[in-house]
Amino acid sequence: MPWLGLIDKIDRSDLYVVLDTVQFERRGWQNRNYIAGDGGKQLLTVPVVQASRDERILDKQIDNTQNWRMKHLRALLNHSYRGAPYLDEYREEISGLFEQRWNHLAELSIATTLLTLRAFGIDTPVVRASRLGPLTGHKSELIAQVCTTVGADTLLSGSGARDYLDADVLKQHAVEVEWQGFEHPVYTQNKSGPGKFISHLAGIDLLFNAGPDSLELLRSARPPL
């Protein structure tokens, strides 16, 4: 489930490309995220089948021998967000997603992202890098190839990529880099105590707590580009 920084980035963009052709990162964020928990954060992890270390995200299979779907659903609906003011607005769609069987991590990840975007009212088109044809580059060269393939002249990048994204490589492909500079909105949470705020959770935390005001709250915290 995408966190608010990614949702903000997609909302600012004309097109969002899911980079599913790169190597799956073990112990990374591609199969897990935080939701609110009692006294802090709770980590939800989708178990995956451990095969080759070189597996791409699009090939990564979910380990359905574990009862993770019902565990996650109970954590969301019965524990973490029980009593949240807008939980019932999204209960049916969230339940339907977890009641469905998923075999590949990429399919689940895209489904949770699209659900979240619809709930926020964000209509940015979403495409998969694996559907764009052959992409032979690596690292910054790969990102540049993705941009040129979809006709983009600007890449909106999170600040965390400053350490590894080579803007000069993209410039050689006539692609400029703009840095997101994400600012996390602060809002009332049903799980946080007085004067406390739990940040960097999955975006559904904002939805369950703020409902139709979620997108406005997200945008209001945003510094100008």
Please say if the pLDDT value at position 162 is more than 90: no
Q: Is the pLDDT of residue 98 over 80?
A: yes
Nearest to 113 by CA among 101, 99, 128: 128
What would the mean pLDDT of 180-186 be, rounded to a whole number? 93
What is the rounded distance in angstroms from the CA atom of residue 150 to the CA atom of residue 175? 12
* Predicted local confidence at residue 223, as pLDDT: 76
Read off the pLDDT band of 193 (50, 70, 90).
low
CA–CA separation, 24 vs 20, rounded Å?
Answer: 9
Give dist(CA 28, CA 48) in Å, integer.
12
Strand 16-18 to strand 40-45: parallel, antiparallel, or no bridges (unpaired)?
unpaired
How high is the pLDDT of residue 190? 87
Cα–Cα distance, 40 to 200 (Å, whole number):
11
Please provide the DSSP assignment of 112-160 as one string.
HHHHHHHHHT----EEEGGGS------THHHHHHHHHHHT-SEEEE-GG
Q: Single out the residue of 165, 181, 121 nearest to residue 19, CA to CA.
A: 165
pLDDT tens, residue by residue, 206-220:
999 999 999 999 999
**pLDDT digits over 32-86, tens only?**
999 998 778 999 999 999 888 889 999 999 999 999 999 999 999 999 999 999 9
Q: Once rounded to an integer, what is the mean pLDDT over residues 145-152?
A: 96
Query: What does the CA dihedral 52, 164, 150, 173 come to, rounded to 10 degrees?
Result: -130
- Determine what percent of the chain is predicted with pLDDT higher than 90: 84
What band does 194 get if pLDDT is binned at 50, 70 and 90?
low
Q: Is the pLDDT of residue 152 over 90?
A: yes
Q: Can you spell out the DSSP letters for 56-116?
A: BGGGPBB-TTS-HHHHHHHIIIIIITTT-TTHHHHHHHHHHHHHS---BHHHHHHHHHHHH
Rounded alpha-carbon distances, angstroms, from residue 162 to 13, 16, 103, 133, 158: 19, 19, 34, 27, 8
Q: What is the pLDDT of residue 225?
A: 57
pLDDT at 196: 86
Mean pLDDT of the chain: 93
pTM assigned to the model: 0.93
